[in-house]
C-alpha cells in the first residue's frame, strides 16, 4: 500500500503540473489531513489501551508518536489554504491557533515522558487533559465533515 | 475527536463485557488496523514530500514516526485473530511473518537515521526499499477490502 501511496502521489503531482494553484491547495489540504488522521488513529489505539481492551505494551511508543506528530502539525497548517475541515479562523486567529498547537506539542511531549517514567495511569490522566484541549480546539477551528 | 475516540472505546468496552470473546477479537482487529492506518497516513505524507508537493520540513519526524510505529506492529498481530484484512497465513507462517515485520522495523529505523544524517534523497531511496518490502508482505498476507 505504501508504494502505491508514493506512486499515486507522484502521479498526482504530474497531473497537477497543469493546474499549479489548485493542485498546490489540494496538496496542502491532503497533507494536513494525513497528519490529523495520524492523531486520530493514534488516540484510537491509546483509547483501546486506556479502556483495557488491548494490552499496554505499546503505550509509551504510541505516546511518543503522538508527541512527535504533534511537532509536525503546526507546520502543516502554515500555508493559508482554507478547505477540508479547517475553518478560516485558523488563519485569521493565527496567534491563538499557533499557541494552541504549540501547547499541544508541549503537552504531548510531557505525556510521552510521563508514560515512560510514571506508567499507564499517569499517562492516561495526561492524555485526558490533552484530549480536552483537542476538543476545545476542534470546536473552535474545525468544521467536521461526515 | 480524540476525546470521543477514547470515550467511545471505553463505552465499547462496557458493551463488550457481555460478549467477551467476540469483543476481544474485534478489539484486536481494530487495534492492528489503527496501527496499519498510521503507516498508511505516514507514507501518504512521505509520498507528498517525495513528490515535492509539500515542503520537506517534517521529513525526519515522519521517518522517525514510521520507525517507531513499526516497532509496535508485530505486537499488534501477536494475538491469533484472523479477520479484517489479515490473511490466516500470518499465523500459520508466523516465523516468516514475524521475520518480515522485524526487518521492516529495522529498515524503518535505518531510514530514520539516514533521513537525519544524509538528508532527503538518501531517505527517499531507503523509503522505496521499504515500500517494496511492504508491498511484498501485503501481497502475501493481506486481503484488501475496498
DSSP class of residue B17 equals T
Which ranges of chain B does DSSP label H, i.e. alpha helix?
2-16, 20-50, 59-77, 89-92, 94-118, 120-141
Position B53 scores a pLDDT of 87
pLDDT at residue A49 greater than cutoff 80: yes
pLDDT at residue B5 greater than cutoff 70: no
List CB contacts of B21: < 8 A, sequence separation 6 or more. Answer: none
A chain contacts of residue B138, beta-carbon cutoff 8 Å: 1
DSSP class of residue A85 equals T
Q: Which of B41, B101, B126 to mutate to test the interface with A (most CBs of A within 10 A)?
A: B41
Say if CB B61 and CB A68 are below 8 A apart: yes
Position A53 scores a pLDDT of 87
Position B22 scores a pLDDT of 53
State ipTM: 0.70
Judge whether A19 is closer than 8 Å to chain B, CB to CB.
no
User: What pLDDT digit, counting tens, does each position of B8-27 carry?
Assistant: 444 444 344 444 445 589 99
Which residue in B has a C-alpha nearest to residue A6's C-alpha? B47
User: What pLDDT digit, counting tens, does each position of B85-120 carry?
Assistant: 999 999 999 999 999 999 999 999 999 999 999 999
Say if CB A6 and CB B127 are below 8 A apart: yes
| A6/B76 CB distance under 8 A | no
User: What pLDDT digit, counting tens, does each position of B37-95 carry?
Assistant: 999 998 899 988 988 888 899 999 999 999 999 999 999 999 999 999 999 999 999 99
User: What pLDDT digit, counting tens, does each position of A28-41 carry?
Assistant: 999 999 999 999 99
Cell of A108: 504531548
Among all chains, which residue has been given the C-alpha cell 494525513?
Answer: A34
> Chain B closest CA to A102's CA: distance in Å?
15
| B68/A68 CB distance under 8 A | yes
Say if CB B4 and CB A40 are below 8 A apart: no
Position B23 scores a pLDDT of 55
pLDDT at residue A27 greater than cutoff 60: yes
Please give the average per-residue pLDDT across A138-144, as a whole number. 95
| A35/B27 CB distance under 8 A | no
Position A138 scores a pLDDT of 95
Judge whether A40 is closer than 8 Å to chain B, CB to CB.
yes
Q: What percent of chain A has pLDDT over 70?
A: 84
Q: Name the residue facing B134 among A1, A23, A61 (closest C-beta).
A: A1
Position A22 scores a pLDDT of 55
Position A26 scores a pLDDT of 92
User: What pLDDT digit, counting tens, does each position of A50-102 carry?
Assistant: 888 888 999 999 999 999 999 999 999 999 999 999 999 999 999 999 999 99
pLDDT at residue A11 greater than cutoff 80: no
As a 3-state breakdown, chain A gives helix, strand, coil percent values, each rounded to 5, of 80, 0, 20
| A40/B1 CB distance under 8 A | yes
> b or e along A64-85 (b: 16 or more beta carbons within 10 Å of the residue's beta carbon)?
bbbbbbbbbbbbbbebebeebe
> Chain A closest CA to B19's CA: distance in Å?
12
Q: What percent of chain A has pLDDT over 90?
A: 71
Amino acid at each position: 500500500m505504501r508504494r502505491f501511496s508514493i506512486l499515486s502521489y507522484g502521479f498526482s503531482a504530474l497531473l497537477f503540473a497543469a493546474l499549479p494553484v489548485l493542485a498546490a491547495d489540494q496538496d496542502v489540504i491532503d497533507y494536513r489531513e494525513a497528519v490529523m488522521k495520524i492523531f486520530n488513529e493514534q488516540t484510537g489505539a491509546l483509547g483501546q489501551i486506556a479502556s483495557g481492551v488491548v494490552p499496554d505494551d505499546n503505550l509509551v511508543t504510541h505516546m511518543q508518536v503522538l508527541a512527535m506528530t504533534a511537532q509536525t502539525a503546526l507546520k502543516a497548517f502554515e500555508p493559508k489554504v482554507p478547505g477540508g475541515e479547517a475553518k478560516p479562523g485558523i488563519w485569521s486567529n493565527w496567534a491563538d491557533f499557533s499557541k494552541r498547537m504549540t501547547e499541544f506539542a508541549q503537552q504531548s511531549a510531557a505525556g510521552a515522558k510521563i508514560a515512560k517514567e510514571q506508567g499507564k495511569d499517569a499517562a492516561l490522566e495526561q492524555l485526558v487533559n490533552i484530549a480536552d484541549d483537542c476538543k476545545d480546539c476542534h470546536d473552535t477551528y474545525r468544521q467536521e465533515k461526515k
